[in-house]
Amino acid sequence: MPGLYFVSDIHLGLQDPLDERLKLDRLEALFSMIRRERGTLYLVGDILDYWMEYRQVIPKGYTRFLCMLSGLARSGVEVSYLAGNHDFHLGRYFDDELGVKTLYGMQEVRHDGKLFLVAHGDGLGEGDLGYKFFARFVRNRFNLGLLTGFHPDLATALMKKLSLLSRRHKPVDMKSEPRRLIDFATVLARERVFDYFVCGHNHAERMEAVNGSGSTYVNLGTWIEGEYPYGVYDEGRFQIRKV
């Protein structure tokens, strides 16, 4: 059975041109491998550092990535994109133009007899009330209509500002992960049976058994610190590898 691939928190558009080129080179290599293996890909949020969709305008800066993504989907690879707290509203462009399925919230994925619960991780568990309010405010249809009514240059500048505010609220270079998402997975494992809880968001690569339940917590890490991790489930085993 072809493998199941996961990647999160690339934050394209965040860093200097050299770092951005390196990330895209590694992402192209990953896409080529997935294409050869005929795998399935889940983009688990914050692939883009900011995104605002318009009916007639495509934001500048992501051309190479969008072409790569479209080529992967057109090659027959099934690609799903879960919105994160930076690429928080993906709209219809990815579905209609690129052939990529966009998703929001936690998803159930069944593969090879296993149940994967997949989520970016933002807004899950206890606390972080400020972000939860922000997400409800921004994803509100009326407020999205107001934002997209701005000139694209103004709205893009606003998205960059919101991204900066998010970093001030939650540092992106944490060396040890807060317990919130692990605690969430632990409570979830008491309530239902699953094999893997796969997330990102905290930028802390981690893989560990949850509460002796047979479930496993997986955090996919980030691409902004000079490493390029991705998750893969293949031949009955889940691993975090580097491109």
Question: pLDDT tens across 11-50, in order?
Answer: 999 999 999 999 999 999 999 999 999 999 999 999 999 8
**C-beta of residue 120 within 8 angstroms of C-beta of residue 103:** no
Instruction: Confirm whether 111 is domain-assigned.
Output: no
Residue 115 CA to residue 26 CA, distance in Å, equals 28
At residue 173, does pLDDT exceed 50?
Answer: no
> For position 175, what pLDDT does the model report?
47
Torsion of CA 46, 24, 231, 138, to 10 degrees: 10
> For position 88, what pLDDT does the model report?
73
Q: How many domains does the chain have?
A: 1
Expressed as residue numbers, the domain containing 149 is 4-105+123-171+223-242
Residue labelled with tokens 């997935």: 34
Instruction: Confirm whether 235 is domain-assigned.
Output: yes
Instruction: Confirm whether 212 is domain-assigned.
Output: no
Instruction: Confirm whether 194 is domain-assigned.
Output: no
**C-beta of residue 240 within 8 angstroms of C-beta of residue 28:** no
What average pLDDT does the segment 234-238 reach? 94
What average pLDDT does the segment 168-190 reach? 71
Amino acid sitting at position 42: Y
Instruction: Confirm whether 82 is domain-assigned.
Output: yes
Strand-pair partners of 40 = 4, 78
Strand order in the sheet with 4-7: 101-103, 78-82, 40-43, 4-7, 229-234, 237-242
Instruction: Confirm whether 136 is domain-assigned.
Output: yes
Structure token pair of residue 12? 């394209």
Instruction: Confirm whether 165 is domain-assigned.
Output: yes
At residue 6, does pLDDT exceed 90?
Answer: yes
pLDDT band with cut points at 50, 70 and 90 for residue 195 = very high
> For position 91, what pLDDT does the model report?
80
Q: What is the percent of the chain with per-residue pLDDT over 70, rounded to a whole number?
A: 79
Output the average pLDDT for the chain: 86
229: part of which helix (H) or strand (E)?
A: strand 229-234
Q: Is the pTM of this model over 0.75?
A: yes
Instruction: Confirm whether 209 is domain-assigned.
Output: no
> For position 146, what pLDDT does the model report?
62
